[in-house]
Structure 1
Amino acid sequence: MSAHPAQPSPGPAAEPEPTPAQIRRWQTYLADERAEAAVYRALATKREGEERDILLALAEAEKRHEAHWLRLLGEHAGKTRKASLNSRMLGFLARHLGSVFVLALAQRSESHSPYSKDLDATATMAADEAIHEEVVRGLATRGRNRLSGTFRAAVFGANDGLVSNLSLVMGMAGAGVETHLVLLSGIAGLLAGALSMGAGEYVSVRSQRELLDASRPTRITLTAAKALDINANELVLVYRARGMSQAEAEHRAAERMGTFDCDCNPSFSLQPDDESEAPAHETIGTAFGAASSSFCFFASGAIIPVLPYIFGLSGFTAIIVSAVLVGLALLATGAVVGLLSGAPPLARGLRQLLIGYSAAVATYLLGLLFGTVTG
């Protein structure tokens, strides 16, 4: 019986041809990766030191993702598509702003990566995007900390000016008083509120800073240590009161007094005692900065409800125009807070609008009631 010729072993299965929908999606991903890398490089040009190095490392990481989509696209990689609108907007802002707002937007963009749900992306790529979000969150947090004290006062001042003066104007208009009295009340409310906000912020921040300064360790342990009784070492109590364990406190006291006969963990020496340096208190801000921001932003918010009356409008027309202007301003300030906090800007804007309009409508109804009772 003749032997049958040996059959050739099957080679590796060829990858299936991608569908047009896949090609379009991969081309968009490729454009987005290139756009995101460009965003990080643009931000890096406006930073220095460690932050610059981190941003450049993020841009380099995006190249790995870019290579993945280039490999999948193969011959289709030559046809380029526009990046998503979000990526293009980020690129524009990064080139022209380079601020914490861009980092906050980038953080939000990284958190909405589609790779975790796309089978064409690798698990490593999805994990990379999650880590990138945390990296950008850390960089954005640094920026938030640098402006948080003054920014808090500014946002609070602007919203307080918008809501309180709109409520005042609406209440006066609801009571049926003459137009010039509504305008006079609005101007008086602007000045009184701005001065009150500025003074209140100055006192608040100054008091908080003084409280923290009073809690900061002094240099007394450096000067008094040499004269202390070694056998009755109250210096250990000082460090225990600051939150150290018994072993840590004994080691630190031994260092201060020049004796190292305690059986302590040597790693305790790696914990510096920052007695000589005052804490930065970045998140508090300066008292003058908070006060001036609060004054200016309250005034800028409070002037908006009275603009229709300044330009000669009166009656129900002035009320409607005032409400619309304040509504737009509330949406804007709420959106800014949302952007900086990484939250949906529209949701934050609508929340501000609802709160502001609720206060204004309540005051208007009270004004109507007051005008009816006294009329």
Structure 2
Amino acid sequence: MSEEEIRQLTDFQINEITEHRIYSRLAALQKNSHNRQVLSELAKEELTHFYTLKKYTGKTPAPQLWKVNRYVWIARLFGLTFGIKLMEKGEDIAQKVYRQWKNEDIQKMATEEEVHEAKLISLIDEEGLNYMSSVVLGLNDALVEFTGALAGYTFALQHPHLVALTGGITGIAAALSMAASEYLSTRAEKENKNAFKASIYTGIAYIITVIVLIAPFVFMKNVYWALGVCLTGALVIIAVFNYYYSIVRSESFKKRFGEMALISLGIAAISFGIGYALRLFTGIEL
């Protein structure tokens, strides 16, 4: 082998031993025995790949500890599935490079990377993901309904603190209503979910969104600037959530973001127009 080929295989080794260390660390942190077993299998597979490559390089490189710590903390902060899938998303390029090699061992490794890891990762049991639909319900309703309401209040009331007060009351009431609806809906459908937990996920998602959206009206004096910041905040929430969702569900970020942003801003524009029309029709000045 040429020096360049050995260098490339050594880089592969570093990647494999780094992922082995990540999976091992995550396995040690798991209280769920099923998740611990899945992660241990992933770690074992990466170590096998490391030693397969060693036959060709004759080297034993160390793992990239900064990368190990990075993904372990991402998994702890944002969830196990998100951390692993984010890491694997970044390794797609490495798998394509594997495919360029005609070596039988490396071709086998590429297949195992694509098939085994995807299969094992899909078996991971993470409670938060089981309630993703409840979070989606809370966020969608808050972003569409509440953004529209704030836009309507902005033109109807024309005072940021009045908008914040009215919006806060409306938002909290709506969050409680949505949480109660999700509780009753989950119980009625008899899904494999805890109805109380489902309602909590929905309520918390709604309230967090409400806080972010009314904050500009609390701290800013110009009601229209506050509305602009509010709508920007809505777009940021949509972007962050849909990025997370697209990673854990392996779906298109652009499509989901575009649909949700268009609906939320469209409803806000319509509500703003309704507020303007009602103000003209009633002749009420505050």
Give the TM-score normalised by structure 1: 0.63
CA contact (8 A) 2:17 2:50 kept: yes
The reply on whether 1:52 has 2:36 as its aligned counterpart is: yes
Pairing 1:35–2:18 present: yes
- Say whether 1:305 aligns with 2:286: no
1:66 deviates by 1.8
Query: What is the deviation of 1:37?
Result: 0.7
Residue in 2 that maps onto 1:70: 54
Select the residue among 168, 171, 183 that pairs with 1:187.
168
Cα shift readout 1:143-162 (whole Å, capped 9, x = no counterpart): 2xx33453321232133223
How far apart are 1:169 and its partner, in Å?
1.0
Q: Deviations over 1:2-44 (max 9, x none)?
A: xxxxxxxxxxxxx4x243xx45533332221111111211121
1:203-352 → structure 2 map (5 Å cutoff): 203-209=184-190, 281-282=191-192, 285-343=193-251, 345=253, 348-352=256-260
For residues 92 and 367 of structure 1, what CA distance do their matches in structure 2 show?
A: 46
Query: Which residue of structure 2 lines up, in the alignment, with residue 368 of structure 1?
Result: 276
One-letter code aligned to 2:185: S
1:152 aligns to 2:133 (yes or no):
yes
Q: Root-mean-square deviation (CA), in Å?
A: 3.2
Letter in 2 for 1:297: A
Taking the aligned partners of 1:96 and 1:179, their CA distance within structure 2 comes to 35
What is the percent sequence identity of the aligned residues?
23
Q: Deviations over 1:318-353 (max 9, x none)?
A: 111211222212212222222221335566445433
Closer/same/farther in 2, CA of residues 133 and 368 from structure 1, 3 Å limit: farther
Aligned residues: 279
Residue 96 of structure 2: aligned partner:
114
CA distance in 2, matches of 1:44, 1:192: 42
Structure number with larger C-alpha Rg: 1
Could you say what secondary structure the match of 1:343 adopts?
Answer: coil
Q: Which amino acid aligns with 1:69?
A: L
Q: SS where residue 45 of structure 1 aligns? A: helix
1:245-283 per-residue CA deviation (whole Å, 9 max, x = no partner) reads xxxxxxxxxxxxxxxxxxxxxxxxxxxxxxxxxxxx53x
Any conservation in 2 of the 1:107–1:342 contact (CA below 8 Å)?
no
**Residue in 1 that maps onto 2:108:** 124
Q: Answer yes or no: is 1:90 the counterpart of 2:74.
A: no
Structure 1 pair 160–313 and aligned structure 2 pair: CA distance change class (3 A): farther
Note closer, same or farther for the CA distance 1:208–1:96 as it changes in structure 2 (3 Å cut).
closer
Query: Is the 1:149–1:290 Cα contact (8 Å) retained in structure 2?
Result: no
* C-alpha distance 96-207 of structure 1, shift in aligned 2 (>3 A): closer
Contact 1:160–1:301 (CA under 8 A) maintained in structure 2: no
Shift of 1:317: 1.3
What are the equivalent positions in structure 2 for 1:3-22 lying under 5 Å apart? 15=1, 17-19=2-4, 22=5
| Corresponding residue number in structure 1 for 2:264 | 356
CA distance in 2, matches of 1:101, 1:348: 17
Query: Cα deviations across residues 272-319 of structure 1 (Å, max 9, x unaligned)?
Result: xxxxxxxxx53xx22222222222221221222211222243322111
Is the contact made by 2:99 and 2:107 (CA closer than 8 Å) also made in structure 1?
no
